[in-house]
Amino acid sequence: MKTPTITEGKNAAYHLSGLIYGISLDGVVNRNEFQALKNWCRDYEPLCEMEAFQTLYTEIKPIIDNGQVNSEELTQIRLILGNFLEQFGGRTDSSNLHFLHGLFQGVLASGDVNTYEIYKLRQWLEKNSELKAQAPFDELFELIDRVLEDEKVDDDEAKQLKAFFSKHLV
């Protein structure tokens, strides 16, 4: 078995960062979103062979293993992630994609896509407008603008968004 790399650890951290962002968009952590956090722990546990990632993991896992995660604990995880990522430099195209993958997973975990979440997603996209030229961000910008033309997300638009998010989780 190959030894995990710093890049794999960094990408896992960006995935978790996006997952937390997506989960917290509506301000509530439901059971499915909590399960998504537990799944992240299970999926990335093998990276603990790398000492730096093991430190990150051992700080985050007890918070998630507690049985529920509240907004203060999400903030605590964000700080832990920020400290970890600060050690390994800035974002790259790859890390942006891992963040987006986590974000989509977090939004879908709620089982619902609502107007507030999409406005918050648009805000994130506007802050990261340099991504507009990259796939799948270019498609996402267009989709969000189209969906929010009438300032609300109806059932058909929610289905389109879920389909787009699901398509890009593969």
**What mean pLDDT is reported for the chain?**
90
* Percentage with pLDDT > 90 across the chain: 64
**pLDDT of res. 4:** 81
Residue 137 in domain: yes
Q: Is the pLDDT of residue 1 over 60?
A: no
96 in a structural domain: yes
The two tokens of residue 5 are 């790399």
Instruction: With beta carbons less than 8 A apart as the criterion, state whether 34 and 69 touch.
Output: yes
Q: Is the pLDDT reported for residue 86 higher than 70? A: yes
Q: Read off the pLDDT band of 91 (50, 70, 90).
A: confident
Domain extent for 10 = 6-167
Least confident range from 93-97, 132-136, 141-145: namely: 93-97
> Is residue 1 situated within a structural domain?
no
15 in any annotated domain: yes
11 domain-assigned: yes
Mean pLDDT, residues 118-143 taken together? 89
Reply yes or no on whether the pLDDT at 3 is more than 80.
no
H helix intervals, the chain: 6-24, 31-44, 51-65, 71-86, 93-109, 115-127, 137-147, 155-167
The Cα angle at residue 19 between residues 5 and 53, in degrees rounded to 5: 25
Percent of the chain scoring above 70 in pLDDT: 98
Q: What is the pTM of this model?
A: 0.89
- pLDDT interval class at 170 (50, 70, 90): low
pLDDT at 66: 85
The whole-number average pLDDT for the span 117-136 is 88
Report the number of distinct structural domains present in the chain. 1
Q: Report yes or no: 12 and 70 within 8 Å, Cβ to Cβ.
A: no
User: In angstroms, rounded to a whole number, what is the distance separating the alpha carbons of residues 123 and 37?
Assistant: 23
